[in-house]
Each structure stands twice: as structure tokens, then as C-alpha cells.
Structure 1
Amino acid sequence: MPTQVIQAQPPTNIFSDLAQFWKDIKAIAGPYWYPTEPGKRAFPDVLRAWGMLIMLILLIIALVGVTAFNSFIGRYLVDTLIQEKDYSQFIKILSVNIVGLVVVTFLVGFSKFVRKKIALDWYKWLNNQTLDQYLSNRAYYKINFRADVDNPDQRLSQEIEPVTSSALNFSATLLEKVLEMATFLIIMWSISQQIALILVGYTIVGNLIAVYLNQKLNTINQDGLVFKGEYNYALSHVRNHAESIAFFQGEKQESNIIQRRFNNLIKNIESKISWERGTEIFSRGYQSVIQIFPFLVLAPLYIKDEIDFGQLGQAALASNMFAIALGELINEFGTSGRFSSYVDRLAEFSNALEEVTKEPENVSTIKTIEENHLAFEHVTLQTPNYEQVIVEDLSLSVKAGEGLLIVGPSGRGKSSLLRAIAGLWSAGTGRLVRPPLEQVLFLPQRPYIILGTLREQLLYPYTTRKMSDRELEDVLHQVNLQNLLSRVNGFDTEVPWENILSLGEQQRLAFARLLVTRPSFTILDEATSALDLKNEESLYQQLQEAKTTFISVGHRESLFNYHQWVLELSQDSSWQLVTVQDYQRQKTTQIVPNPPDNAQIKIDDFSNNQSQAEIGVVKFTMEGLSHKEMQALTDYSLGSIRSKASLGKSITANDGFNYYYNKDPKVLKWLRV
């Protein structure tokens, strides 16, 4: 993920922010608490969730009620001990007080348990819903083209649980503290209306200040989530590309990148610490002032014997409890800052997933028809943003059991055609006829290695398929991975495969999946680029023997031996479809008149950025090699040599070079490529 620059946001209206916050809350909480779409949530589950929520509310009401009751018991306890001095009555009231304290203890513990249980159930549901949305309609792929949505993995793994837990904590604390403040305010009203009115005004002013202070904290929390995501991404990036970094000896540069992102995170934390310092000083001072009020107002009344000592103690206790409740409420507003940040990011993520899976409107798309063959009918393929035409008016059909090789300059759209077949890209016009995707196996250049056992690797993506160990061993032998079992402890061992398998072994493992699933159609995107020619030939021969229809993308000349047709894409979006023999003839007949000995002529400019070693060079010597001389360089019979010469096929000799028979009457020799 590229580093994002966090720009200062212009001040926004607090009411519009609040309206957007509640809109996001409704979008996240609505499907769980008020499901309207059929089939999304079972009715018994909804009843169970509401039943637990009602239980939590009743527990909070009971807790506040028993706490208020204990304040009166405390008042009577003081009066009995100091004024009446009745020990037996004191013991009775003390017993009631102890019971009240025990009940409060159980109510606190049980209410927190119910709160966490509701949050856990909600988290499980919300996580599954978001994960389903992420994995459906290939949203996980399409979301990567959205530059405004960073770190989807972090949003899934770290930012869903805080939404549910914070929502329950904030709601429960808000209800509990508001009830406590209202209860103790009533108690204060019964003792002194003056104190009660002062507390009401003081509370309103204090909470307005707290809300204002937390606006800045919300921004700090939002930036903190972004910086933390970027730091985590940098660390995982090093882990995923450890070998490349080691080859380049790029530790210093990687350290600078990680340190830069870590510094952003530290600055954000320092800003948060500084802001919280002021908030905590305000909260503590706010509580302290409240505790002074009853003594300033009631102490003169007690001295004049207008109230008893128990009332003074109860008023002091009520003011103290009111101050504590108000302080916790203010702190909860600070917590709600983090909560609103999580809500904002989750809502943004959910909306982005919904948008990328919508069918585009008022734009042309390639129509896909599912049939048991593969064909392009007047297809013009464009990039997803419709800014560039990749190939124009493409029409071709791949016959069953044949192979099509796609070649062309690098970046010209060869892999894009494969994306169109897979349904990943659909911008353009025309019709694409293809079999159901369940019958197609895609083999990319960098094979996908799952987190699982060797058995699951071989059976992927149909891991429920049943195959014996003996059958799987035969498959490994066919792809020259028979020694793999000796490196791990059986088929059911899970190890970090990407670390212990070379790229070539990973590509052979991908071919093993092909032999296991035996699809009717196979798409190979440079799937043998890391293999030696012998392994490549063995794998393609098995592919041909399986009568599989396959399309390959590649630059290696050896691939011509295994395909019947070549689709060449050009820089100007044009294309040509020719047989392999005609394509090779087109390239090798581009010979200058009377070429000098050892002249070098390019066969195909596959890439503007590739070296001669990568694209291949034909070296012509007028003497060349005869059929017998060619036989001496290969393991083929003389008849096979002549047959390949007549068919225009190239041969890879034992010296590692490819040779092509030039049928020009002036040459009639095998020439080395």
C-alpha cells in the first residue's frame, strides 16, 4: 500500500458530523438489530439478541436502584450510630447494608458479563457479514483498485471487534451513568434544591465542553488508525519479500521506510497524549468542584441543626457518586472518539465493497456466454477505467484439445485477456463465450500457495475431493516432485510452503493441481517461466495427453512446440491469429539479403524493456547444420528430425540452444536461435 499523505481537514459542522455518525451506526447496527432483508438473519437469533439486551438494561436499572437504596441505608446507619446510639438497630441496618453491597457486586459482575456476551455475538455476526461481503463477487480483488481504501486486512482483523465492544460499553455506561446522575440528583433535590439546580447547570456546561474537546481527539484517533495500518503493512511487506530484500541487501532502505512510518505513528501518539492530558485535568477538576458544593451549602445548615448528620453524609455521598458518574461519562465521550473512528472506517469499507460489486451503469461491458467452448466474438477489451483500449475487435475460437499461445510486447495486454476470460475485467464491447469457471483452472506465473497442508495444496481449490495418498504420490512423481514427501512429514503436514519451495517447485506444484482436477480448460500465464526446458516439456506433454484445451501467455520460444496457434498482440491494439508454423516462418524469413556469416537478427521484439538474452536472437551461418549433424546434437531419430523440419517445428538440442530449419532454397539448413 503506498504511503498516504494525511492532509489537514477543514473544520466541519458538529451537527453534520453527528448526523453522519448516526447514519453510519444505523447502517452497521441495523441489519443485526432490525433486519429487514429476508434470509439475512434468523428470527430466533434476533429474539435472543433482544432478550439479552433487555436483560442488560434491567440489570443496569437494578444496579442503579440498589446503589441508591444503599445510600439511604448508609444515612440510616450513621443516624442510628451517632444520634440514636442503638446498637441492636445498628446491627440490623448494617446487615441490610452488607446484603446491598453483595447484591451490587453480583449485579456489576453479571451486567459486565452480559454486556461482553452481547458484544461477542454481535462481533461474530458483523465479522461474518463483512467477510462474506469482502469475498463475494470478487470484491477482495476489485477493492485493490480503490486508492481511498487502505489496508482492508487491518479493517477486517482489527477494526470490527472495537465497533461492537465500544458500542455496548458506551451505551451501557451512558445508560448507567445517566440513571445514576438522575437518581442522585433526585436525592440531592430532596435535601437541597439549590445544590440540585447548580449540579444540573454545571452538568450541561461540562458535557458541552467535553464534546467540544473530543472533536479534536476524533481526528487524532482517525489518523492513528491510518498510521498504524501503514506501519503494519510495511512490516508485513518485508516478511513477504524477505528474499528479494536479502538479494538486494536493502535492509537499510527498508529500515528507513519502516522508521518513517513508525515516526508518523509516534507523532500521532504524542499528540493524543498531549490532548488527553488536558482532557484528564479538566475531568478531574470538574469532579473535584462538584464534591465541594454540598459542604459549602449544607455545612451551615447542619451547624444550625436544620439538617441531621445523616442527611449531610448522604448529600456528600450523593455528590461524590454524581461526580464519579459524570467523570466516567466524560471519559466515555473520549472513548466514543475511538469508537466513532472505527465506525467511520468500517462504514467506509462496507460502502466501498458495495460499490465495487455493483454492475456499472451507462457503460459498455463485454457480454459473457457460458458454453462448452472458448471464443471471442468482436471483443474490444479496455482497462477497467475505460481509459485505454487493450485489443480491438478480437474474434477467434479455440478448438477443443488445442493450444493457443498469446505473445506480444510487454504491457500490451496479454494477461488482460486472461482476466477477461476469468470475468475480472469486463470493460469493452462484444461477446465472450467460455465454459463455466468451475471447468477452468488458472495457473499464474507466481502460483498461489495456500495456508494449509500438502494435501490441501494439491487439492486446491476443491479441498473436499477424496484422493488416496498413493494417488497423490503418483501426481507428485508426474511433476517431478517425488522428493517433496521426504522433506515434510506426510501429506497432512502444514509448513510455510512459500519459504521451503523454490519458484520452480511452486510452479510444478501448481501443475500437480491441474493433474488432480483435470479441468477441461486451462489458462497458463507464464506458468513455466521458472522451469528448465525438460520439466516444461514434460508438463506440457501431460497437458496435451489429457486432451485439455489450453491458452498460454509466454515469451519462451520453446512454448511454440506445444501450441497450434499464436495470437500476437501489437502496440496499436491490433492483432493477428496464425498457426505456429506460419508465425515462426514470418519471423525467420525476415532475413536481410545475403546475410553475412554470424549476422544476428531479432526474431520478435517481445518487449521494449527486455534484453537480447530475454527475447532471443537468431544467429545465421550460411553453412548451418544438416539433418545428420542435427541428429548428433539431439536425442531424436533422423526421421523425427526430418519430420520436424517439414512441419516447421524448432528443436531444443543438447547444447541448450534452439534450432529452426530454414526452408529457403538458398539455405536448407538447421540454424541456431
Structure 2
Amino acid sequence: MAVQSTLRHSAAEKAAELDVGDGGRDATLSANRDVVIHTTKNLTFEAHRRLFLNPPRVSGLREGSVPGEQTRAGLNLAFLHQFLSLMSIMIPRWNSKEAGILLSHSAFLMLRTYMSLVVARLDGEIVRDLVTGNGKLFLWGIVKWCGIGSVASYTNATIKYLESKVSIAFRTRLTRYIHDLYLNDNLNYYKLSNLDGGVGHGADQFITQDLTQFCSSAAGLYSSLGKPFVDLCVFNYQLYQSLGPVAFVGLMSNYLLTANILRRLSPPFGKLKAVEGRKEGDFRSLHARLIANAEEIAFYGGSEMEKVFLNREFKSLKQFMEGIYMLKIRYNILEDFILKYSWSAYGYLLSALPVFFPAWGGLGGAMEMKDSAKGSRERSRMQDFITNKRLMLSLADAGGRMMYSIKDLSELAGYTSRVYTLISTMHRVHADSYQIRDGAAELYSLADVQGTTQKGFDGVRFENVPIVAPGLWPQGGEQLLDDLSMIVRPGEHLLISGPNGVGKSAISRVLAGSWPVYRGLVSRPKSTGEDGIMFLPQRPYLSIGTLRDQVIYPDGEVDMRSKRKSENDLKEILNAARLGYLPDREGGWDTRKEWKDVLSGGEKQRMGFARVLYHEPKFAVIDEGTSAVSSDVEGLLYETCKEHGITLITISTRASLKKYHTYNLVLGSGEQGNEWEFDRIGTDREKMQVEKEIQELRKQLGQVEQWKERRAQLEAELADVWTDRGEFLDAPEYLEREANATVDEVESVSEDTTAQK
């Protein structure tokens, strides 16, 4: 059953969340209106997968592939397939809301065409009555003109409103579809940019900008193509009746000729729009990179170099945009002359056919030959000319908008290619559909994944699993560790240690499913969180929301209430994590702040432990989770977690954490650093290693006297430096403290090692 969320909007009630019966969430904001949101079903994704990963050959797209960033966007069969594929998402059923809005929009477009026809006839009647001096009919015509004008104004405003509704309806469908495909248990949001790389720097540019422009362009194109098409059909028929077949053939010839000229001389707007989108995304990603790494750049003093990067990228974007504008100026000059002036002159020539060539003039020519009286013929000629002129102008406007739409259609092709590329890449990541057409796949590439992940195992198990840092598709990965085999059962705590860069954090990524299991078998609990497994990343993450939200993340308040937990329980959890002072310091549980800037490094790491204590998983993987926490608080946190029955898998370089664990997985051994050792802590082998460390420390202690003598020599040599007006001064206190601290540190390490033995 689809997960359902009901949002009730009001400014009077405070937001609260309630649980619904089908496993979804009902976020209640008031009792005024309900907006029911259904998540996309997996069956829908599977049905759409063939459209995005298995396109027909006639479209020119390769099966099992997605359009790359260099794919040329244009008016071709590939664009038609891409657009229709996206339409199947935007209008999923004939009785959907979007179909109803489009039907209403179409009805008003046809009404606007009918109003244009009525206005053309009324215009001719008013001019006829004005020329003949019939005041009564003239005034009545003015009254009808005002009445029709009010209806036409309402129609025009409604058309613009419905066009906006179509755009936002399309965007809503696509955004929800993409979010359901992007944010799910398959971790597509991580894999999309870190493993696949099919969307370059990330999906944010595609979702926030390209998708919006695509929906606006698609909705606007429906109006700019729909109404002109209806106008062309209706007005051509009316002119055919009025001016005859010769004029009709002339009109059709004019359309075909001008369309061919404009098509041949039109720049490739679709390709240009696609390139513009990529350049805008590159410029935006540089700014995002600057914000994300502001502190590091500030420490290096790299503002000038970052400015060079930004200015260089903006200069490239500016030059490209200026080139597009120059192309548009040349094309617009030709387009305006053909559509506005040459078409008008041609229309006057066709309108004159009934007057100068009555035999070729259709009904107008017949009336010209029928009216024998000069005055009657002039009045009829005036009325027909004004009516035909109005129809000609409307027809020229419709034809012009059709021609303008060719340019808009080219731009739409660019937006379509971008959005189609995004969804195709997401489907490829979601289905793990990586295929190599030419040759064999590289070793440890995404097409070479042969391992298995078993969920539902009561423990953590690796069986002959090579730990590989994956490369961006289609490149192969780099093997960090040889085939890893181990098992951690409930209650058997594991410490993963080793030097930097040997793959300690990589093990947690493979276990979490962020990185592929290229070979072997990985077994883990099924769920993430309560009664399952939970991961504390190396870099603490604080979400948007209240202080309460920081403790219960990724749960919401509705989940907390359903677990029958209250703020008193959260207070006890914070006390256990040595953060009990936070509610009073920050102003209560409902306080909203930018928590990543409010909490210190140690508080952020302790907040991670608070989340572990709140969710109480069976297993907790902690990646350097206490690097900013003092050793005494660190011990209390580990003991508290063990008291709650949580099996700990810790990634750390701190040897002091061994006493809280049962096993130790040491990485980085061997000549190449890709071997590992898995032993129980406290074995004879480990005692021998400790004895070896003690011997090395004793050798260092034997050099203490030499270090003291050397310090005395340095003090004597630098005695002249520490003088003021000839008076001898003692060395600064910090030098004395540093020298004594060096000796004390060596002695302390020796004592700790002996005690551990």
C-alpha cells in the first residue's frame, strides 16, 4: 500500500503529527483542508524503467545507457521519445488532475479562438455602419464590442492562470517522482554523485532549476502551439470561404516557405540551452564548494585563488551567453521582418483578390459581382475587407507564434534532455543497471559487482569480501583490503584500528550499502535504527529543526510519540550523554537554531551517542565518534551503550578503547598495507605485542638523561638571547613546561602499557 501523508494547512493551529493506519504520516496543521500525497510505487518505477533505460532504436538512444552531458539536444526522434517519456510521469492517467487542467485549458483556448472570430466579424460591421452613417446600429455594435471585450478579457486571464496551473502541476508530479526515486533505502542520493557520476556535480541543479524551466517551457509551449494551431485551422477555413481556393493555396505556400526558411536559418537553440544549463551548474557548484569549505579556505588564505576560479568560470559563462544573444539578435531581425511585415503585405495582396479578380475571390468575389449598386458594393467591400483584414492579422499572429514556437521548441529540447538524463541516471542507479556494450568491464567497476548483501542476519558478517574504493562509472575501483572474513555476534564488541588511509571507514560504507559488495557475502540486520543497526559517521550531522529533532533524528515527533517516549525520556538520554544542560541553555525542546554552528565539536559527537541511546539499536557502528571527547566522558558513553545492550563496532586509532571491546580488527598490515588481522583482545599474541611495545618504550626512557643534557646545552647556547639591558633572564615558562612534558609523556606511556599488560 502506498505511503500516505496528509497535510492540513492553517495559521491558527500549531503543527503536530499523528500516525495513520497504513504506516504513513499525517502531519496535521489544521482542520481546514487536506492534501493527500501518495508516494510512487515500485511497480511504477519498473514500468517506467524501459522508457528510460531501454528506449526504442528509432530514437537513436542506446539501450541500457543514458544521454551523456555531451549529448546533442535537438528536434529529432530522441527528443520526441524523451518528451513523451516525461509526459507519462506528468500525466499518469487520463482522469488525473493534470489531464483535467489541460482539458480546461484547451476549452478556454478554443473559446479564445471563437472570440477572435466574433471580434473580426463585429469589427467589419462597426466600420460598415460608421461608413453608412447608421448611428443606431453603430451604437449597438459598440455595446456588443464592450460585452465581448469583457468576456475576452476574462478568457485571456484564465488562459494565463491555467497555464501557470499546468506548469506547477507538471513540476509537482516530476518533483515527487524524482524525490521518491532519489531519497529511498537504496541510498540513491549518495550513489548518484559518488558512484555513478552521470549528472556531473550533483542533482541539485537539475532538480531546482532545469526541472522548473522544463515545466514552464512545456506548459507555455502548449499555449503557444495549441491556440495558434486552432486559430490556423479556423481562420484558414473562414478565409477559404471568403477569399477562395487561390488565396488559400497562397496562404499554405507562404506558411511552408517561411517555415522552411526559418528552420534552416535557426540556430541550434536546444543544444545551446543544454550547454548553458551545464555552465550554470558548474558556476553554481563552485559557489557551493566555497560555502562548504569556507573554514579551510580561510585558514589557507585562499580567497584570491577562489576568486580566480569563480571569475574564470563566470567569464566562460558570460562569453557563452553573449554569443547566444548575438545569435538571437540576428535571428530575431529575420524572424520579425518575415512574420510581421512580409506576412502583412502578403495578406493585403490576398485580401484584394475579390476586388480586382472577382472570379478568383470566392464568396467575396461572388458578392462583388452580385452587388450592382455602387453604394451597396462599397459598403459590402468595406465590411469584407475589415473582416478579412482582422482575420489576416489574427492569422499572421497565429502563424508568427507558431514560428516563434520553433525556437521555444528547441529550448524545450534542451531542458527535456537535461531532465531525461537526470531521471535515466536515477533509474540506472536504482536498478543497478550497468552494462558494457563494447569489451569487458573494468575490474571492480559498477558492472563488475558480483557480491551479495544479506539483510536479516542477527549479527555482522563478512565472508571473503574485498574492500574496494569504487571509482566513478565506468572506471574501476581501488582495492584497499584483501578478502575480509569476520563475524560479530550480539554482545561481542569490535574495535577496528589501523593507520590512516587503510580502509577503516570503507568497511562501514560497505556495511551500510553505500559502497558495492564486489565479491563475497555481507550479512547484517535488516532494519536501520531500532532493533537493527545504526551508523555514526565520522563527521557529525545535525538536521534542520528543533532541539528535540536533533536527539530523535531520523525520527519525527510522530515517531517519538508512537514509541511512547516523552521529553522526560529525552532528558534522561541527554543526561546519559552528558548533554543534560542543553534544553535549559538553548531555551527548550522547541527551539530552532542552526545547530551545526551552536554546538561544539564534542557536543556534536555526544549528540550522536544520544541518538544511539534513543534508538537503542542492536548494533552501532561508530566512526571516530569520540575524537573530540575527553577520555573520562568517552568511557562513560561506551559503558552506557553496553548497559543498554548495544553491540559496538568502533572505528578508531585510540588504543585506550580496547578495554570496551571484545575483538580487534587491525588493518594495514603486510608489505603493501592491504592485509588485516582479526583477534580477540587479551590473547597471548596481543600480550606479546604489548611486551614488544614496552621494550621499545624502555629504550626511549634510557635516553632521558641524554635529552636533559642536551636541554642544558641549548639553554646555555641561548642564554644570550634571553637578556634585557644586560641582565640575564630565565627561559620562558612554556619552554620549561614543554621539556618536562616530553619526559612525563614517555614515562606515562610506559606506565600505561605496563598496566595494560
Q: Same fold (TM over 0.5)?
A: yes
Within the alignment, does 1:527 sit opposite 2:585 as a pair? no
Distance 1:567 1:222, change over 3 A: same
Q: Is 1:122 equivalent to 2:170 in the alignment?
A: yes
Q: What percent of counterpart residues are identical?
A: 22
Distance 1:394 1:183 in 2: 75
Between 1:121-130 and 1:290-299, the stretch displaced more is 290-299
Residue by residue over 1:431-467, the C-alpha shift from the partner in whole angstroms, topping out at 9 and shown as x without a partner, is 3232223311101110121111110110011222133
Q: Deviations over 1:349-405 (max 9, x none)?
A: 111111112246774113414222222234344444664434334332223223211
Q: 1:573 aligns with which of 644, 660, 674?
A: 674
User: In the alignment, which residue of structure 1 is the partner of 2:444?
Assistant: none
1:27 counterpart residue number? 85
Per-residue deviation at 1:214?
4.6
Give the equivalent residue in structure 2 for 1:416: 506
> 1:113-149: CA deviations, max 9, x gaps?
2332233223212211111011122111111122331
Q: Is the 8 A contact 1:288 1:323 kept in 2?
A: no
What amino acid does structure 1 have at the position aligned with 2:187? R
- Work out which of the residue numbers 459, 479, 491 in structure 2 matches 1:373: 459
Range with bigger deviation, 99-108 or 299-308: 299-308
Match of residue 168, structure 1, among 205, 219, 236 = 219
The one-letter amino acid of 1:454's match is L
Q: What letter is aligned with 1:394?
A: L
Distance 1:285 1:114 in 2: 32
Q: Residue by residue, what CA displacement relative to the aligned partner does 1:507-547 show, whole Å, maximum 9, x if unpaired?
A: 11111111211211100111112223233222222223223
- What residue is the counterpart of 1:81 in the other structure? 130
1:351 corresponding residue in structure 2: 424
Partner of 1:135: 183
Structure 1 position 92 matched with structure 2 position 140: yes
Contact in 2 for aligned 1:21/1:344 (Cα 8 Å): yes
Matches within 5 A, 1:411-490: 411-438=501-528, 439-463=532-556, 464-466=559-561, 467-490=565-588
> Equivalent residue for 1:511?
609
Equivalent-residue separation in structure 2 for 1:310 and 1:444 (angstroms):
81
Equivalent positions of 1:602-621 (< 5 A) are: none
Q: Please, which runs of 5 or more residues in structure 1 have no aligned partner? A: 1-6, 36-42, 601-618, 623-652, 664-668
Any gaps of 5 or more consecutive residues in structure 2?
A: 1-67, 358-373, 434-446, 707-742
8 Å contact 1:234–1:258 — kept in the other structure? Answer: yes
1:283 aligns with 2:335: yes
Residue 67 (structure 1) aligns with = 116
**Cα distance in structure 2, aligned partners of 1:179 and 1:191:** 19
Alpha carbons of structure 1 residues 222 and 8: separation in structure 2 relative to 1, 3 Å: closer
Equivalence for 2:345: 292
Aligned to 1:38: none
Query: Match of 1:480, SS?
Result: coil
Structure 2 residue aligned with 1:261: 313
CA contact (8 A) 2:456 2:523 kept: yes
Residue 33 of structure 1 and its aligned partner are, at CA, apart by 2.8
C-alpha change, 1:541 and 1:177, in structure 2 (3 Å) is: same
Q: SS of the residue aligned with 2:268?
A: helix
Cα 1:558–1:671, aligned 2, differ >3 Å: closer, same or farther? Answer: closer
Distance 1:255 1:489 in 2: 40
Alignment partner, residue 106 of structure 2: 57
8 A Cα contact 1:597 1:620, kept in partner: no
Structure 1 CA distance for aligned equivalents of residues 261 and 203 of structure 2: 35
Aligned to 1:185: 236
Task: Kindly provide the amino acid, as one letter, of the partner of residue 450 in structure 2.
Answer: S
Does the C-alpha gap of structure 1 residues 31 and 656 become closer, same or farther in structure 2, counting only changes over 3 Å? farther
Q: What is the alpha-carbon distance in structure 2 between the residues aligned to residue 595 and residue 245 of structure 1?
A: 40
Q: CA deviation at 1:29?
A: 0.9
Alpha carbons 1:405, 1:553 under 8 Å: kept: yes
For residues 8 and 383 of structure 1, the distance between their equivalents in structure 2, rounded to whole angstroms, comes to 25
| Kept after mapping to 1: 8 A contact 2:622/2:649 | yes
Aligned-partner SS, 1:376: strand
Match of 1:329 in 2: 402
Per the alignment, residue 709 of structure 2 pairs with none
Partner of 2:53: none
- Deviation, 1:316, is 2.7
- Given candidates 599, 618, 635, the residue that maps to 1:501 is 599
Deviating more after overlay: 417-426 vs 582-591:
582-591
SS at match of 2:621: strand
Is 1:149 aligned to residue 207 of structure 2?
A: no
Residue 314 (1) aligns with residue 366 (2):
no
Output the CA distance in 2 between the equivalents of 1:431 and 1:298: 81
SS at match of 1:551: strand
1:185-209 Cα shifts (integer Å, max 9, x gaps): 3343323655443332222222233
Moved more, 62-71 or 197-206: 197-206
The AA in structure 2 aligned to 1:309 is M
Instruction: Write the distance in 2 (CA, Å) between the matches of 1:166 and 1:247.
Output: 45
1:598 aligns with one of 692, 700, 707:
700
> What secondary structure does 2:187 align onto?
helix
Deviates more, 1:259-268 or 1:386-395: 386-395
Change (3 A) 1:59 1:656: farther
How far apart in 1 are the matches of 2:696 and 2:209?
70
Corresponding position of 2:275? 223
1:402–1:548 Cα contact (<8 Å) kept: no
- Which stretch shows the higher mean deviation, 97-106 or 340-349? 97-106
Whole-angstrom CA distance in 1 between matches of 2:71 and 2:423:
25
CA distance in 1, matches of 2:217, 2:335: 20
Describe the shift of the 1:573–1:370 C-alpha distance in structure 2 as closer, same or farther (beyond 3 A). Answer: farther
Following superposition, the deviation at residue 278 of structure 1 comes to 1.6
* Comparing 210-219 and 170-179, the one that deviates more: 210-219
Contact 1:522–1:550, Cα closer than 8 Å, also in 2: yes
Distance 1:472 1:311, change over 3 A: same
Query: Of 670, 673, 687, which aligns to 1:585?
Result: 687
Is contact 1:372–1:434 with CA below 8 Å preserved after alignment?
yes
TM-score (norm 2): 0.73
CA root-mean-square deviation = 3.3
3-state SS, counterpart of residue 71 of structure 1: helix
Q: Which position in structure 2 is the counterpart of 1:639?
A: none
Does the residue aligned with 1:437 lie in a helix, a strand or coil?
Answer: coil
How many residues get paired?
600
Single out whichever of 494-503 and 574-583 deviates more from structure 2: 574-583
CA contact (8 A) 2:453 2:517 kept: no
CA distance in 1: counterparts of 2:160 and 2:695, whole angstroms:
90
Contact 1:195 1:294 in 2 (8 A): no
| TM-score of the two chains, using structure 1 as the length reference | 0.81
1:106 maps to what in 2? Answer: 154
CA 1:149 to 1:590, structure 2 compared with 1: closer, same or farther past 3 Å? same
